[in-house]
A = this chain, B = another copy of it.
């Protein structure tokens, strides 16, 4: 068995600070999105990626590549967004086997309404703490 390579104190502090900071940041971002828009952070990310795509729609596989969530959870999250009318599934016009996820007008409206509060949270707990 190889001997354990422990972290130096400095490395350990950096790691613990990172864990603590990222958990606090996640919590702030989640809380704002849930309270103001009834969305999880993962759902928010999906709406965001779709809004940036041409025609506000993306092949499911392409969407999966832009968010880190595993494919099985993505399907579940899309189902939930579809049930709330924020996303719809659309057949690809050029490839009938392909399915796109597309932002609905209600999804676009939810995104616009929520963006200012979300950006304020990201600023307060991330951007404003960074130097360029």
Contact residue range for chain A? Answer: 20 to 34
Q: For window 104-132 of chain A, which residues contact chain B by CB distance below 8 Å?
A: 115-116, 119-120, 122-123, 126-127, 130, 132
Stoichiometry (number of copies)? 2
Query: How distant is the Cα of A22 from the Cα of B6 in the complex, in angstroms?
Result: 22
The answer to whether A130 and B68 have CB atoms under 8 Å apart is: no
Contacts of A4 in B (CB 8 A): 115-116, 119
Query: Interface majority SS on A: helix, strand, loop or mixed?
Result: helix
Contacts of A122 in B (CB 8 A): 7, 15
The answer to whether A24 and B68 have CB atoms under 8 Å apart is: yes
Pick 8 A–B contacts, CB within 8 A, sort by A.
Answer: A5-B119, A5-B120, A7-B119, A11-B130, A18-B126, A19-B45, A20-B68, A23-B69
